């Protein structure tokens, strides 16, 4: 199955102004409707190893699986949507790989990574995320944060300890409550969303959203939507102009047209008789 | 490490480091900070510290708690906040913000693990009677989880037990000067367009569009879409951003305009 021509994808990643390493990792395959972003953590170069493993495992495994299986079908054994099942299994696989590497190699001890994955199919997308890397949607001029961070700050906001305004001032920005590769088992948060032509989706690491306000992100997506590559570069540049204290990664996906799943003849016949 | 400086009539009485999860303030002797003055309630207020952040909560005191002149019930403390209890003043100082920390340590993402680590963390302090029952477990749980994070970063990540200090993001320093465009040709010739937004687009969508970005270094023009590129001072630009100087003449989608800096 291919979505060629339905999605436009552009990305940009940058170490920022302070860090010498880029511990973020991004990968995308527009024809398969697949985008992955990870923000690694851990000493020396372990962060890069963790995020690199996560994006590589997930993108290559899903590329293979998508040739054989259709994400919008229901799996006969589990009764789950194939897209969900694939994401669950491959995230678990990536988690095990990172966890085992961290356990067996002392220089990788304690490494981990955040993750956000979006899989587009049948006018929908399935988003899986772990940690504080985010997915935003621009629709009709309005920017909305789709994913909810797994972070101490988000928990504090949810429990009413602090307000979102105070959260921007908080010192505890960098604490995530979930990450890939830290424990033997990790649970990703997975949700489905309908997509519409002209939607723009932004996947980013915290290096962007900590440095650039949502208003400025929204303005950039709106103004530069006709040149996605430039828009991605502009977002990274703005984060750097504001200090660029962390690695900055951005993936932009624009929905160009509808991409309904090709239904089989039998399926169409069945729907006529309903 | 955050601390409080207790003073009365501009006379510093003592300094108290906020090392505990809960630091109680009141007139009775069992409080961590005892202020023996009748204007202060027996159990007056509490400061809950979660890693680098501290929250002040009034425990239903008779005369109330005032921060920076405003009465509060609950307050997220910021560096150099002044807490007033009767005649006494407590200044909140968070050196993580004021001190010059190593830049490389800023915002290193770390994992906070609930579950086994939280279980190993010391049990949360019993909530004081005056604490609203809903708020107490939440704060306690967060504090316990925070303690777990410290353990984690200590043992696994091999980093220091305290979270690296993080300064709040500063707004981009605006360019020194403001700038505007004046149209020199076309239907709106003579009209002025102020360049106040971080991004201003010019041209006709679908035909030719360029954008002017306002950055700390100055103003830049970049081609966005269309087959032809903008022309500045008679020279056609390429796909790269081009720095604009005072009185540059831009030609775009058949319209000429002049860029100028405002004083």
For an interface test with A, which of B96, B101, B109, B202 has the most A Cβ atoms less than 10 Å from its Cβ?
B109
Residue B51 in contact with partner chain A when CB distance is under 8 A:
yes
* Cβ–Cβ under 8 Å, residues B248 and B256: no
| Confidence check: pLDDT of B117 > 70 | no
- Averaged pLDDT for residues A8-12: 96
Q: How many CB atoms lie within 10 A of CB B244?
A: 21
For an interface test with B, which of A20, A115, A172, A229 has the most B Cβ atoms less than 10 Å from its Cβ?
A172
* Residues of chain A positioned with their CB less than 8 A from the CB of B131: none
**pLDDT of the residue at B107:** 55
Residue B262 in contact with partner chain A when CB distance is under 8 A:
no
Rounded to the nearest integer, the mean pLDDT of chain B is: 77
| Confidence check: pLDDT of B21 > 80 | yes
**pLDDT of the residue at B87:** 86
* Residues of chain A positioned with their CB less than 8 A from the CB of B202: none
Q: Distance of CA A245 to CAs A171, B108, B125, Å?
A: 14, 10, 36
Between CA B114 and CA B198 the distance in angstroms is 41
Q: Distance of CA A239 to CAs A149, A245, B195, B197, B207, Å?
A: 20, 8, 20, 16, 30
> What backbone phi and psi angles, to 5 degrees, belong to B254?
80, 5
Residue B50 in contact with partner chain A when CB distance is under 8 A:
yes
Between CA B85 and CA B246 the distance in angstroms is 56
The more confidently predicted of residues B117 and A209 is A209
Interface contact flag, A245 B103, Cβ < 8 Å: yes
Interface contact flag, B172 A169, Cβ < 8 Å: no
Interface contact flag, B166 A112, Cβ < 8 Å: no
Interface contact flag, A224 B211, Cβ < 8 Å: yes
**pLDDT of the residue at A233:** 95
| Confidence check: pLDDT of B134 > 50 | no
Cα B24–chain centre separation = 26
Find the closest chain B residue to A178 by CA distance.
B111
Exposure on the CB side of residue B115, measured as CA atoms within 13 A? 10
| Strands A34-41 and A112-121, bridge-based pairing | antiparallel
Between CA B159 and CA B154 the distance in angstroms is 5
**Cα angle: B17, vertex B147, B135; to 5 degrees:** 85
Measured on CA atoms in the order A52, A58, A63, A65, is the torsion positive or negative?
A: positive
Tens-place pLDDT, residues A90-130: 999 999 999 999 999 888 988 999 999 999 999 999 999 99
Between CA A146 and CA A265 the distance in angstroms is 35
Residue B232 in contact with partner chain A when CB distance is under 8 A:
no
* Residues of chain A positioned with their CB less than 8 A from the CB of B171: 242
Q: State the nearest Cα–Cα gap between A272 and chain B, in angstroms.
A: 41
The share of chain B scoring above pLDDT 90, in percent, equals: 40
Give which of B135, B129, B134, B138 is closest to B28, Cα–Cα: B129
* 3-class SS of residue A54: helix
Q: Model's pTM, two decimal places?
A: 0.75
Tens-place pLDDT, residues A261-271: 876 666 555 55
- Averaged pLDDT for residues A24-35: 95
Interface contact flag, B108 A211, Cβ < 8 Å: no
For an interface test with A, which of B111, B206, B238, B241 has the most A Cβ atoms less than 10 Å from its Cβ?
B111
**pLDDT of the residue at B149:** 43
**pLDDT of the residue at B124:** 43
| Confidence check: pLDDT of A33 > 60 | yes
The share of chain B scoring above pLDDT 70, in percent, equals: 71
Q: How far apart are the first and last CA of chain A?
A: 27
Between CA A70 and CA A135 the distance in angstroms is 24
Number of A to B CB contacts under 8 A, please give it: 154
- Averaged pLDDT for residues A151-173: 86
Give the H or E element holding residue B208. Answer: strand B208-215
**Cα angle: A41, vertex A46, A49; to 5 degrees:** 100
Q: Which residues contact A48 (CB under 8 A, 6 or more apart)?
A: A21, A22, A23, A25, A40
Pair of tokens at residue A15:
């170490």
Pair of tokens at residue A86:
């694939």
Find the closest chain B residue to A215 by CA distance.
B198
DSSP string, B137-167: HHHHHHHHHHHHHHHHHHHTS---SSPPP-P
Give which of B256, B125, B104 is closest to B185, Cα–Cα: B256
**pLDDT of the residue at B1:** 75
Measured on CA atoms in the order B215, B221, B223, B224, is the torsion positive or negative?
A: positive
Interface contact flag, B112 A177, Cβ < 8 Å: yes
Give the pLDDT band (50/70/90) at residue B5: very high
Find the closest chain B residue to A224 by CA distance.
B224
| Confidence check: pLDDT of B181 > 90 | yes
Q: Which residues contact B113 (CB under 8 A, 6 or more apart)?
A: A177, A182, A183, B148, B149, B152
* Cβ–Cβ under 8 Å, residues A259 and A120: yes
**pLDDT of the residue at A266:** 60
Rounded to the nearest integer, the mean pLDDT of chain A is: 91
**pLDDT of the residue at B130:** 43
Find the closest chain B residue to A112 by CA distance.
B111
Between CA A35 and CA A33 the distance in angstroms is 7
| Confidence check: pLDDT of B254 > 90 | no
By Cβ distance, the residue of B171, B172, B199 closest to A219 is B199
**pLDDT of the residue at B127:** 43
- Averaged pLDDT for residues A57-86: 92
Q: State the nearest Cα–Cα gap between A29 and chain B, in angstroms.
A: 24
């Amino acid at each position: 199955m291919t979505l060629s021509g339905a999605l436009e994808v552009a990305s940009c990643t940058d170490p920022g102004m302070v860090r010498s390493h880029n511990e973020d990792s991004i990968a995308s395959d527009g024809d398969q409707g697949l985008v992955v972003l990870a923000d690694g953590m851990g000493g020396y170069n372990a962060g890069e190893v963790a995020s690199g493993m996560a994006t590589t495992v997930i993108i290559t495994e899903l590329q293979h699986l998508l040739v054989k299986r259709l994400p919008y079908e229901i799996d006969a054994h589990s009764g789950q949507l194939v897209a969900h099942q694939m994401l669950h299994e491959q995230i678990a696989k990536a988690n095990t790989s990172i966890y085992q590497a961290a356990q067996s190699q002392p220089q990788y001890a304690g490494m981990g990574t955040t993750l956000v994955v979006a899989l587009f199919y049948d006018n929908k997308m399935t988003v899986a995320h772990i940690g504080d890397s985010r997915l935003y949607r621009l629709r009709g001029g309005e920017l909305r944060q789709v994913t909810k961070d797994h972070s101490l700050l988000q928990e504090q906001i949810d429990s009413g300890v602090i307000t979102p305004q105070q959260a921007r001032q908080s010192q505890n920005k960098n604490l995530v409550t979930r990450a890939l590769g830290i424990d033997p088992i990790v649970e990703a948060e997975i949700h489905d969303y309908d997509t519409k032509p002209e939607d723009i989706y932004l996947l980013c690491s915290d290096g962007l959203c900590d440095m650039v306000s949502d208003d400025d992100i929204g303005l950039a997506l709106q103004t530069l939507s006709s040149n996605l590559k430039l828009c991605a570069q502009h977002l990274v540049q703005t984060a750097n102009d504001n200090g660029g204290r962390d690695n900055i990664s951005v993936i932009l996906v624009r929905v160009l047209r509808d991409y309904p799943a090709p239904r089989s003849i039998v399926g169409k016949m069945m729907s006529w008789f309903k | 490490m955050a601390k409080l400086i207790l003073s009365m009539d501009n006379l510093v009485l003592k300094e108290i480091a906020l090392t505990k999860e809960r630091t109680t303030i009141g007139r009775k002797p069992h409080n961590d900070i005892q202020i023996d003055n009748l204007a202060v309630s027996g159990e007056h207020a509490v400061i809950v510290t979660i890693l680098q952040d501290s929250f002040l909560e009034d425990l239903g005191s008779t005369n109330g708690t005032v921060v920076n002149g405003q009465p509060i019930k609950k307050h997220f403390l910021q560096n150099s906040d002044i807490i007033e209890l009767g005649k006494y003043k407590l200044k909140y100082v968070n050196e993580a913000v004021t001190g010059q920390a190593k830049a490389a340590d800023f915002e290193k993402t770390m994992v906070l693990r609930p579950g086994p680590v939280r279980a190993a963390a010391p049990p949360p302090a019993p909530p004081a009677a005056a604490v609203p029952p809903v708020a107490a477990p939440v704060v306690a749980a967060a504090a316990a989880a925070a303690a777990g994070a410290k353990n984690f970063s200590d043992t696994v990540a091999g980093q220091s037990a305290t979270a690296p200090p993080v300064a709040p993001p500063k707004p981009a320093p605006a360019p020194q000067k403001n700038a505007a465009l004046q149209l020199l040709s076309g239907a709106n010739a003579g009209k002025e367009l102020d360049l106040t937004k971080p991004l201003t687009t010019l041209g006709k969508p679908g035909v030719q569009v360029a954008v002017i970005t306002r950055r700390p270094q100055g103003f830049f023009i970049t081609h966005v879409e269309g087959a032809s590129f903008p022309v500045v001072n008679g020279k056609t630009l390429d796909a790269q951003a081009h720095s604009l100087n005072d009185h540059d003449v831009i030609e775009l989608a058949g319209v000429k305009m002049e860029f100028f800096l405002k004083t």
